[in-house]
């Protein structure tokens, strides 16, 4: 999208950098190519993040850029949406983490340095192109008496085993971003389809969506996300409702998972999958789940108690800027 009528770049720009993120860890002295007017603040813990945002309360930023991973972005969501210090500005995400699933959908494309150069060129007025404006909702996970958490991807069942596999066998070898997540997802599905106990560990789940029962039984995989696409363009959702929380569940005993997997990952499953066979996909506004085990929310593991249901709702929408 081009044209002379493109809005000017913002003047008050806050850049949040988490030095502990996957791509920044151990890289002392790294300088991101950002214009002098942008104020860069290091945020390595939630308390520091809250303090930085509080400093901007009187004169809110017009744009917040984030150089961090999915966990850093999730912490920012919590700080901006739970008790807002100022009106929500647009966000620009730079992929500085390990998986960078959120940035893969709504972030500035390219590696960290390339993405920072693109953002810098636009902020400096060197590009007249208007940035793309993407809007997405954010998941709010509450319940079990814990502080609400935020993110854009939630998973349990084989997702937990897949996450452990990714950390142990993929990230440890230096593979990051979309390819690492996609490889872990494919290996996990292969293990589940073959009944490999390292991946296939069904758990009892009760699932309600928008006030109605959706599932009760043993589930092999459950994922929910407000992203339009996951790593490497995977879209394992095929619900037809208008809700922002895309949710897919594979029940224990689901038929033909190995053959069905390619269509499921593209969001184009076969008629048999759509008909039933132990598969469920719906787009919801609110999700309630009861289970005993772990839930992965943007890389953070949350312990769930079957007697205390978890409530997942959609907050936002949030605007993300992708500079030209």
For residue range 216-257, list pLDDT tens digits in order: 999 999 999 999 998 878 899 999 999 999 999 999 988 888
> What CATH number should be reported for the domain holding residue 71?
3.40.50.10330
Residue 310 falls inside a structural domain = no
Residue 313 lies in a domain: no
- Residues 84, 198, single domain; the answer is no
Q: Which residue has the higher pLDDT, 183 or 133?
A: 133
Band of the pLDDT at 134, cuts 50, 70, 90?
very high
Which residue has 């988490």 as its token pair?
18
Q: Residue 168 has which token pair?
A: 């142990």
Same-domain pairing of 126 and 162: no
Looking at the structure, do residues 169 and 274 belong to the same domain, yes or no? yes
| Structural domain harbouring 71 | 13-138
CA dist 306 to 24, 114, 199, 240, 318, Å?
38, 45, 21, 29, 31
User: How many angstroms separate the CA atoms of 169 and 96, rounded?
Assistant: 20
Spell 96-108 as b/e; 16+ CB within 10 A means b.
bbbbbbbbbbbbb
Which of 107, 138, 169 is the last residue before a domain boundary?
138
Q: Higher pLDDT residue, 315 or 199? A: 315
What CATH number does the domain containing 193 carry?
2.60.200.40
Residue 127 and residue 157 in one domain: no
Do 203 and 288 lie in a common domain?
yes
Q: Tell me, what DSSP letter sits at residue 18? A: -
42 lies in some domain: yes
Quick: pLDDT tens for 257-278. 888 888 888 899 888 787 677 9
Which residue in the block uniquely carries the two structure tokens 């839930």? 295
Nearest to 114 by CA among 89, 101, 95: 95
pLDDT of residue 149: 94
The pLDDT of residue 218: 95
Which phi and psi (to 5°) does residue 93 adopt?
Answer: -100, 125
Considering its fold, how many domains does the chain have in total? 2
Does residue 194 share a domain with residue 105? no
What's residue 197's pLDDT? 76
119 and 160 in a common domain: no
Task: Answer yes or no: are the C-beta atoms of 296 and 156 closer than 8 Å.
Answer: yes
Q: Are residues 97 and 26 in the same domain?
A: yes
Kindly state the DSSP code that residue 6 receives in the 8-state scheme: P
Domain final residue, candidates 138, 161, 196: 138
| Residue 311, domain member (yes or no) | no
H-helix or E-strand containing 98?
Answer: none
Q: Which of 106, 138, 170 is the last residue of a domain?
A: 138
Q: What is the pLDDT of residue 178?
A: 57
Same domain, 100 and 66: yes
161-183 confidence digits (pLDDT tens): 877 766 666 655 565 555 666 67
How confident is residue 298, by pLDDT bands cut at 50, 70 and 90?
Answer: very high
- Assigned domain for 146 exists: no
Whether residues 192 and 261 fall in one domain:
yes
Domain for residue 8, yes or no?
A: no
Cα gap 128→296, rounded to integer Å: 40
Q: What digits encode the pLDDT tens for the residues 71-104? A: 999 999 999 999 999 999 999 999 988 888 899 9
Task: Spell out where 81-130 has E strands.
Answer: 91-95
The reply to whether 317 falls in a domain is no
pLDDT at 1: 42
Mean pLDDT for the stretch of residues 285-313: 92
Same domain, 133 and 168: no
Report if residue 222 sits inside a domain. Answer: yes
- pLDDT at residue number 277: 79
pLDDT for 2 beyond 60 = no
Question: Both 158 and 290 in a single domain?
Answer: yes
Pairwise CA distance, residues 205 & 155, whole Å:
12
* pLDDT at 275 (0 to 100): 63
Q: Summarize pLDDT for 193-223 with one digit per residue, the tens.
A: 777 777 778 899 999 999 999 999 999 999 9
pLDDT above 90 for 60:
yes
* Confidence at residue 3, expressed as pLDDT on a 0 to 100 scale: 44
Residue 291 vs residues 159, 163, 221, 252, 311: alpha-carbon distances, Å: 14, 18, 12, 15, 12
- pTM for this structure? 0.89
Residue 139: what pLDDT? 98
């Amino acid at each position: 999208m081009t044209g002379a009528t493109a809005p000017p770049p913002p003047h008050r720009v806050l850049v949040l950098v988490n030095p502990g993120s996957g791509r920044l860890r151990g890289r002392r002295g790294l300088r991101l190519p950002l214009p002098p007017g942008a104020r860069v603040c290091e945020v390595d813990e939630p308390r520091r993040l809250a303090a930085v945002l509080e400093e901007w309360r009187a004169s809110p930023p017009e744009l917040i850029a984030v150089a961090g991973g999915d966990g850093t972005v999730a912490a920012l969501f919590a700080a901006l949406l739970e008790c807002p210090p100022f009106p929500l500005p647009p966000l620009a995400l730079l992929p500085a983490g390990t998986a960078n699933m959120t940035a893969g959908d709504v972030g500035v494309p390219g590696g960290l340095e390339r993405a920072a150069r693109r953002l810098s060129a636009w902020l400096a007025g060197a590009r007249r192109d208007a940035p793309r404006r993407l809007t997405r909702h954010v998941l709010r996970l509450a319940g079990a008496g814990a502080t609400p958490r935020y993110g854009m991807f939630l998973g349990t069942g084989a997702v937990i085993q897949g996450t452990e596999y990714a950390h142990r066998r993929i990230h440890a070898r230096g593979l990051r971003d979309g390819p690492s997540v996609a490889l872990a997802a494919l290996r996990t599905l292969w293990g589940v389809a073959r009944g490999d106990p390292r991946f296939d560990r069904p758990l009892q789940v009760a699932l309600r969506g928008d006030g109605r029962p959706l599932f009760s039984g043993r589930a092999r995989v459950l994922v929910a996300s407000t992203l339009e696409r996951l790593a490497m363009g995977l879209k394992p959702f095929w619900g037809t409702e208008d809700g922002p929380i895309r949710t897919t569940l594979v029940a224990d005993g689901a038929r033909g998972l190995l053959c069905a997997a390619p269509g499921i990952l593209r969001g184009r499953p076969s008629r048999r999958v759509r008909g039933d066979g132990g598969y469920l996909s719906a787009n919801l506004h609110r999700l309630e789940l009861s289970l005993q085990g772990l839930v992965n929310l943007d890389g953070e593991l949350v312990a769930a108690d079957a007697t205390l249901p978890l409530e997942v709702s959609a907050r936002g929408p949030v605007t993300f800027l992708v500079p030209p």
